[in-house]
Structure 1
Amino acid sequence: MALSLVAEPGDPRLPVLLAAHEPGRVVEAIRGGAPLPDVRLPDAWRERGHDLDRLVAGATDRAAAGRLRWICPGDRGWPARLDDLDHVEPLHGTSGAPLGLWVRGPGQLAQLVEHSVAVVGARDCTTYGAECASDLGADLTDAGWTVVSGAAYGIDGCAHRGALAMGRPTVAVLACGADVDYPRSHSTLLDRIAEEGLVVSEQAPGEAPLKNRFLSRNRIIAALTVGTVVVEAALRSGSLNTLHWADQLGRVTMALPGPVTSKASGGAHGAVREGKAVLVTDASDVVEEVGGLGVGEVAGPSEQTEFDRLPPATRAALDGLDWQVPRTPDEVAAAVRSTVRDVRRALAVLERHDLAARQGPGWVLVRRADTG
C-alpha cells in the first residue's frame, strides 16, 4: 500500500523492479534506507518517501471514512487474472498488474469477476447506443455474467443501470479514488453499485481523475474480465484503448455494430474490419464468444415446422416442385434424384396436406410448409 502511494499506479518501471526486489525492501530504499543494488530510484519517489507516513495515515483515514478496504495479491478476494498485466508490453506509458486495489461494497471481487464481461463505449453516445448498452447489461446479468465498466457518462452508465435493473451486482472501475463520485452526477449510481456490487480503483482514496489515469484504468477493466465488448466508439474513442488491452491480454474482443452512417460507431466498425474484434449483436452472441461455442444456445429441440415433420422422401419431392410451372412426377424425380414411384407416393401425401395440387399432367405448390 505504501509503495502504491509513492509510485503512480501503472508505472511501467514497477514490474521490473518488483521482479527483483520485495516491496518492503523497495519502500525501505525509498524512505532513505539501504539503496537497492544497481537501481536508481526516481527522484519523485524519494521525495514522496520523506512524507510517506503522512500519506499512509491520510489514505487509511479516508478509506475508513469512505468504507473502503484494500486488497492485494495473496488476499482471498484478489482476482488472479490481474497478474497477466505483468506479462504484456506497456501502452501509453502504462503497464503492470496493480499493487493493490481499493474497493467499496460488500462483494468479493474475485468471485464477482470470475464470469464477467466488460461493456464500454462512447461517453457522448446516441439513443441507439444507450438502448443497446442497457439491454446488453441487463441480458448479460440475467445470463449469469457480471458487467464491468467505468461508470462514465454514456455507454458505461447505461450498462451498469441495465445490470442493476435485474437486481444483480455490477462492478465499476474508476480512474479516481473509490470514494470520489466521478462524474459527480453519477453519485447515486455509484452508491447503488456499491450497495449491490463493487466500486474499485487502484488510485488512493481522494485522488482526482487525471487524464492519464483513465488510460491506466482501462487496463484494469480489460484484465478483470473474460472479454470486452465495445458499444459505440468513434475512431479515436478511449474505449478502443480498453479493447487493445483486452487483445494484448488474450481476452475475447467484441464490438456491437451501429448504423454504417454513424460516426459514433466508426471505431467499432474499424475494429471489426481489421480483425481486432468479433461482431456481436446481442447478449447471446457475447455469451457464446466468452463462454465457448454452444453456451448461448437454448437447450432442447427447436419448434418444428410442418416441413420438418414430413418424411424425408416427401420433403425431397416438395423441394422439386414450383409455384407456377407444373412438373410431372418424372420431372420431379429427375430434379431430386429419386424414383418415380417414391415421388408419386410423396405427391399423394402432399396433396392430402394441401401443400401441392394437380394441374393437368403436372403438380404445383399451393402452400408453404416451413412457417409453422
Structure 2
Amino acid sequence: MSPDDSATSEDAVARAALTAVAEPGDPAMGGLLAARSPAEVWSALRAGAPLGAPPGCRDEAFRTRLPRWRARARAIDADTLLTLAGEHGVRLVLPGDPEWPSQLDPLAERRPYALWVRGAHDLRNACLRSVSMVGSRAASGYGLHVAAELSYSLAGRGWSVVSGGAYGIDGAAHRGALAGGAATVVVLACGLDISYPRGHERLFAEAAARGVLVSEYPPGTPPTRRSFLVRNRLIAALTPGTVVVEAGARSGAMNTAAHARELCRVLMAVPGPVTSALSVGCHRLLRDCQAVCVTDASDVVEQVGPIGADPGGGEGVRLEEDLLDDTAKRVLAALPSRGSAGVAGIAAGSGLDPESALRRLGLLAAAGYAERAGAGWRRRTPAGEGPGDRVRG
C-alpha cells in the first residue's frame, strides 16, 4: 500500500503510534514508511522482528535507532493514545487524507508520519492561501508592530498566517491574523494538550476556535530544545513563502529561513534599524541569501500570490463564477449564504461523496467563494455585497 493512499484504520493506528516512537522528520523512519506500510513497520517493531535499513540510510545509523524504537513501541498503547487525543479534541490527519496539506510532500523522507490537529478550521484549506511569519521571541516594539500590522493586512486580503506560537513575533503574527478575521495556523513543538508557552493559553484557545493548531507530537509530549528546530521545517513547508520580521544572527527564525530556501519557497525579510541586533539576521538574509525586502502586505502578496492577484485588493484572488467547472458550481450552489452547512449536507446537495465535496470546498475557499463557519461551511460574501447577492468576481 502506498503511504499516499487513504489509510486503513490499521495503518491509522500504526501512524499514530509511530509519532510516539520515532523523532519527527527522521529520514530512517521516513524511508521505512516509503518502502513498507505503516502497519507492517509498527507490527515489526512491536514484535522485535527484523527490519532492514531503508535505501539511503547507513546500516550503522539505522542499527542505533532500531533498539530505541523497539523499546518505545513495547511501551506504547496506540488505542490509549488515540483515546487521549479524542478527549482533548485532537484529531489525527494522515498523508492522503482530504485534510492533509500536500505541500508537505516535498519533504520526502522527512515528511511527518502523521499530524495531530485541533481546531475548528480545516488544516489543508487554512494553508491554501497562507504565509509563514517568524521572528525573535524577545522582539522590539518595532518588530511587534510590523508583525501585527502585516498579519492584519494580509488577513484583510484573504490570507492566513502560519507561525510557531512563541512569544514575540509569533504571537503578534497570530493575533494580527485573528484580528483581521482570518484563520491562523499554530505549529507547536509539543503535544496539543500542552499550552507552551503557558502565557499563550488564551491565544491558543482563540486560534483553535477560529483557526487550527497542529503538531507532529502526540498528546502528552513536552517540548524540548530540539523539537522547536524540528518543527520549523513544517512552518516553512506549509506555505509558499516565509517572512522574517526580526531575527538575530543565530536564531530559530534563521533556521526556518534556511528550510524555506531548501524547499525553494519565497523568502522575505523586513529591514530594521542598522543599530538593532534583532535585525542582523534580516539584513544578512537580504544581503547574502537573496531574500526579498518587504515592508507591507502588498509586497508580500506580490511575491506569493498567483499571477493576476491584486496586491491592493481587499479580497485577494477571485475567479469569475462562469470560470468554475460544473462540479464546483454544484458545490457552490449547495452552500448557504447564512448560517452554515456540514460537509455531509453539502455533499448530498451537490451529488458528490463527502471527500470530493471537501476537496471542492477547499478550491472554492482558495478562490474566495467559501469559508468555514463554526462546524460547517457557507458562501463567502464579498465586502459591499449583501448576503443574498450573487457571488461574482
Alignment check: 8 A CA contact 2:298 2:312 kept = no
- TM-score normalised over the length of structure 1: 0.75
Q: Does 1:79 align with 2:93?
A: no
Alpha-carbon deviations, 1:173-211, whole Å to 9, x = none?
000111211100100000000000001101011211101
How far off its partner does 1:292 sit?
4.8
- TM-score normalised over the length of structure 2: 0.71
Could you say if the C-alpha distance between residues 239 and 180 of structure 1 is closer, same or farther in structure 2, counting changes exceeding 3 Å? Answer: same
Of 174, 195, 210, 1:181 maps to: 195
Of 170, 185, 199, 1:156 maps to: 170
Of 131, 142, 167, 1:128 maps to: 142
- In the alignment, the residues of structure 2 paired with residue 212 and residue 10 of structure 1 have an alpha-carbon distance, to the nearest angstrom, of 12
Of 21, 30, 44, 1:15 maps to: 30
Alignment check: 8 A CA contact 2:257 2:267 kept = yes
Query: Which residue of structure 1 aligns with residue 69 of structure 2?
Result: 45
How far off its partner does 1:116 sit?
0.6
Alpha-carbon deviations, 1:131-171, whole Å to 9, x = none?
00000110111111110001100000000100111222111
Could you say if the C-alpha distance between residues 3 and 13 of structure 1 is closer, same or farther in structure 2, counting changes exceeding 3 Å? Answer: same
Runs of at least 5 residues in structure 2 that lack an aligned partner in the other structure: 1-15, 55-62, 314-393
Query: Which residue of structure 1 aligns with residue 379 of structure 2?
Result: none
Alpha-carbon deviations, 1:95-136, whole Å to 9, x = none?
x00011111111111111011100100000000000000001
Query: Which residue of structure 1 aligns with residue 83 of structure 2?
Result: 61
SS at match of 1:8: coil
Report 1:303-322 matches (<5 A).
Answer: none
Runs of at least 5 residues in structure 1 that lack an aligned partner in the other structure: 88-95, 300-372
- In the alignment, the residues of structure 2 paired with residue 283 and residue 42 of structure 1 have an alpha-carbon distance, to the nearest angstrom, of 47
- In the alignment, the residues of structure 1 paired with residue 117 and residue 209 of structure 2 have an alpha-carbon distance, to the nearest angstrom, of 12
How far off its partner does 1:58 sit?
3.6
Q: Does 1:193 align with 2:207?
A: yes
- In the alignment, the residues of structure 1 paired with residue 53 and residue 252 of structure 2 have an alpha-carbon distance, to the nearest angstrom, of 37
- In the alignment, the residues of structure 2 paired with residue 43 and residue 207 of structure 1 have an alpha-carbon distance, to the nearest angstrom, of 21
Of 26, 44, 48, 1:29 maps to: 44
Which amino acid is 2:97 matched to? D
Alignment check: 8 A CA contact 2:247 2:253 kept = yes
- In the alignment, the residues of structure 2 paired with residue 231 and residue 62 of structure 1 have an alpha-carbon distance, to the nearest angstrom, of 37
Alignment check: 8 A CA contact 2:17 2:81 kept = no
- In the alignment, the residues of structure 2 paired with residue 292 and residue 37 of structure 1 have an alpha-carbon distance, to the nearest angstrom, of 44
Which amino acid is 2:30 matched to? P
How far off its partner does 1:29 sit?
1.1
Which amino acid is 2:156 matched to? D
- In the alignment, the residues of structure 2 paired with residue 19 and residue 293 of structure 1 have an alpha-carbon distance, to the nearest angstrom, of 35
Could you say if the C-alpha distance between residues 122 and 37 of structure 1 is closer, same or farther in structure 2, counting changes exceeding 3 Å? Answer: closer
SS at match of 2:183: coil
Could you say if the C-alpha distance between residues 214 and 31 of structure 1 is closer, same or farther in structure 2, counting changes exceeding 3 Å? Answer: same
Alpha-carbon deviations, 1:67-86, whole Å to 9, x = none?
10000101110010011111
Of 285, 304, 309, 1:290 maps to: 304
How far off its partner does 1:48 sit?
1.2
- In the alignment, the residues of structure 2 paired with residue 199 and residue 49 of structure 1 have an alpha-carbon distance, to the nearest angstrom, of 26
How far off its partner does 1:294 sit?
5.8
SS at match of 1:228: strand
How far off its partner does 1:32 sit?
1.6
Report 1:189-338 matches (<5 A).
Answer: 189-292=203-306, 295-298=309-312
- In the alignment, the residues of structure 1 paired with residue 140 and residue 307 of structure 2 have an alpha-carbon distance, to the nearest angstrom, of 31
Alpha-carbon deviations, 1:221-273, whole Å to 9, x = none?
11111100000001011111111111111111100111111110000100110
SS at match of 2:209: helix
Alignment check: 8 A CA contact 2:159 2:182 kept = no
Could you say if the C-alpha distance between residues 188 and 291 of structure 1 is closer, same or farther in structure 2, counting changes exceeding 3 Å? Answer: same
- In the alignment, the residues of structure 1 paired with residue 44 and residue 290 of structure 2 have an alpha-carbon distance, to the nearest angstrom, of 43
Could you say if the C-alpha distance between residues 234 and 38 of structure 1 is closer, same or farther in structure 2, counting changes exceeding 3 Å? Answer: closer
Query: Which residue of structure 1 aligns with residue 183 of structure 2?
Result: 169
Q: Percent identity?
A: 51
SS at match of 1:50: helix
Report the aligned-residue RMSD. 1.6
How far off its partner does 1:66 sit?
1.0
Could you say if the C-alpha distance between residues 116 and 298 of structure 1 is closer, same or farther in structure 2, counting changes exceeding 3 Å? Answer: closer
- In the alignment, the residues of structure 1 paired with residue 142 and residue 117 of structure 2 have an alpha-carbon distance, to the nearest angstrom, of 32
Which amino acid is 2:95 matched to? P
SS at match of 2:47: coil
